Amino acid sequence: MEKEIELQNLINEYFTSSDYKIIENVIRGEKGTRVLEIFIDNEKGINIDEITKINKDLSSLIDEKIDMFNISNLVVSSPGAERPLKFYWQLKKHAGRVLEIEMNDGEKIEGKLEEFPESSDVKEGEEKITVEITVKEKGKKNTVYPREIKFKDIKEVKVKLRFTK
């Protein structure tokens, strides 16, 4: 446990002076084949060249102590579409998309992200989004209504992937 805290501190220290935020760290595998996956993002998005540079930088930093951490491979990646959004600012990139939201009270909501106030305009902890929810009733026209949701009331939010032909 102490080794993992030291590893986390090394990683956090690297990112404190950058625009990138750690979305999640995952260590998987058995001793000798353990892989450290670091998922990062920023407000502007991230490209492959940036990921490659960060991967090299972190590899150099961790290589010095790799035996101590029992890590055989390091993977730096963007979170991808299947991972939940963890920060309010991540939602900005998904305006107009359909979100699957699980509230802290267990309620599940699906709706199109319509309104995204700039976080600089809102006090921290009071950030809100507005989603457009479509209610389908058999034999009737769909009803669409807006719903304002406080970000702090959201347990998990994912972008709903849609595949078209």
Question: What is the arithmetic mean of pLDDT over 14-39?
Answer: 88
What is the distance between the alpha carbons of residues 25 and 33, in angstroms, rounded to a whole number?
Answer: 16
In angstroms, the Cα distances linking 75 to 22, 63, 70, 113 are 13, 13, 15, 31
C-alpha to C-alpha distance for 160 and 156, rounded to whole angstroms: 12
Length of the chain, please? 165
What pLDDT digit, counting tens, does each position of 55-110 carry? 999 888 887 766 667 778 889 999 887 889 988 888 888 888 899 999 999 999 99
Asked if residue 101 lies in contact with residue 110, where contact means CB atoms within 8 angstroms, the answer is yes
Per residue in 101-141, pLDDT tens? 999 999 999 989 887 766 556 666 678 888 888 777 777 88
The token duo for 116 is 């995204």
C-alpha pair distances (Å), 55 with each of 25, 50, 165: 13, 8, 36
pTM of this prediction? 0.77
How confident is the model at residue 120, as a pLDDT?
A: 57
Considering only CA atoms, give the Rg of the chain: 19
**Tokens (6 digits) for 57:** 């930088």
Of 15, 39, 16, which is closest to residue 27 (Cα–Cα)?
A: 39
Contact 15, 42 (CB under 8 A): no
What CA–CA distance (Å, rounded) separates 46 from 93? Answer: 12
Domains, the chain:
2-77 (3.30.70.1350), 88-159 (2.30.30.100)
CB 37 within 8 A of CB 75: yes
